[in-house]
Structure 1
């Protein structure tokens, strides 16, 4: 059964969709920059078997409030805490892609007692590239979303998937094109200014990092840098680009459900199935190496 709500988190109202059994543990999902909660549709059949899945449109996105910017990752993290409070959820599992993963890392550092586990997918603790972000912000503020849609969506996927998945690509272009330009610009500033690298070693929450081997937006080195700094974190790679939960849905779902089963007390997963591969933690990488 699905429930749709609008939840007040202080100075904003967030669109929320809830699926799954009321008695199941809660899994909170946070969308990437430029998408809505529908980006998680490929995960819903797998995740709702064992979890009460709560999705929301991040501030400035979809049907959630567009408040004045710039935003910060801390602001987005506090929204997630307020959402859990409003739903009377003491602790939840959390998964986020890209900007959603950044939000999750902030939560694990500053409100770790609210999390059972953390999945950070195709994300980074620090992206950099201030000039590029500023140019993108100016472009959408001046001309709306249309000047950036084609370039941004093409970087979300590998060329092979982009060429083959015509209907899915068209849907995502419509999704990105429908984001409020001011909300998008405000969220771009949050990603631009975010640098969690000096602090993420404080994270004690069980953490899975999923990285796309062909991700240009947050290259695999950025995922490796996260894993190298969070004690006990695991890295799973999938053969896709930035929105790997869509392009590599089967492998993504297998990795996520195996990890969640493990941390929830199920049989220990020694390896993940469905096309993903486990990578051991490595030494820190330059977070801006290969960043675009």
Structure 2
């Protein structure tokens, strides 16, 4: 099994993480990088030792040479925690890295304190659901996705009032390596957490955007119903990238859950 290499950035000196009991790993959506959390970060970093990471071939993470699974990214995160001297940690991830929240909770219950699934789902359509996206990026690159993403990722009101914030996120997509984006789509197509939801013992929170078309509220409800004791929060008026659209509300929901 090839474990992909991940770039991580800590908000505190790495030396301070060894043995720390308040470490929070944060993951990003498909085609984005660690800056996706910038607006929520001050609130989170005030209470937690935050470590953000880039998915393989995204941001500053190395471009993967082989295909990979989301379970293998979970393995890589635990290996990174070992490297940092972190025994147990909290986790929150958006979209594809929200799926990794479920992989971590399932495979590493002894390492994960709380796992938060942000604007994600336990199943994302299978390989056939990603074939068109893969074909588009293969032929025209990630830049070709820019026209279609805003209405899928943000509410109309946010697009109108915060065009620079939208542009910043779209620029992340353009900067993402095409082949790495495709490999991540393939990993999403091969992902299905539904069979193991009922066996998860880690405290899980699903956060859904009210108008998210990609990971609708029904996906958060499925997690709440499938994972014993799981909670669900719906952010009113927010779409798929709710961490940018409603960062303070996102941060409050995360810190409230982690304090339980």
2:239 is the alignment partner of 1:247: no
Indicate the residue corresponding to 2:8 in structure 1.
16
Question: Residue 129 of structure 1: CA displacement?
Answer: 5.7
Q: How does 1:192-211 map to 2 (within 5 A)?
A: 192-211=189-208
Q: Structure 2 matches for 1:121-270, cutoff 5 A?
A: 121-128=118-125, 130-239=127-236, 240-262=238-260
State the shift of 1:78 in Å. Answer: 1.2
TM-score (norm 1): 0.83
Q: Which runs of 5+ in 2 are unaligned?
A: none
Aligned to 1:269: none
Within a 5 Å distance, the mapping from 1:10-49 to structure 2 comes to 12-20=4-12, 22=16, 25-49=22-46
Query: Paired residues, what number?
Result: 253
Question: Normalising to structure 2: TM-score of the pair?
Answer: 0.93
Equivalents in 1 of 2:184, 2:150: separation in Å? 17
User: CA-to-partner distance for each residue in 1:95-149, whole Å, 9 max, x for gaps?
Assistant: 1111111111101111111111111111000021643411111111222112112
Of 71-80 and 106-115, the range deviating more from structure 2: 71-80
The root-mean-square deviation of aligned C-alpha atoms, in Å, is 1.6
Matches of 1:136 and 1:69, distance apart in 2: 19
Deviation at 1:80, TM superposition (A): 1.1
Number of the residue aligned with 1:265 = none
1:236 CA drift (Å)? 0.6
The secondary structure found in structure 2 opposite 1:198 is helix
Q: CA deviation at 1:261?
A: 1.4
Question: Displacement of 1:11 after TM fit?
Answer: 5.7
Conservation of the 8 A alpha-carbon contact between 1:34 and 1:176: yes
Which of 52, 57, 77 in structure 2 is aligned with 1:80?
Answer: 77
Distance 2:214 2:10 in 1: 29
1:91 matched to 2:83: no
Contact persistence 1:70–1:185 (CA under 8 A):
no
Match of 1:67 in 2: 64
Structure 1: gaps spanning 5 or more residues: 1-9, 263-292
- Cα distance, 1:66 vs. partner? 1.1
Contact 2:124 2:189 in 1 (8 A): yes
Q: Deviations over 1:152-174 (max 9, x none)?
A: 23311111111221111111111
> Shift of residue 69 of structure 1?
4.3
SS for the counterpart of 1:63 is: coil
Quote the offset at 1:70 in angstroms: 3.1
**Secondary structure of the residue that 1:118 maps to in structure 2?**
strand
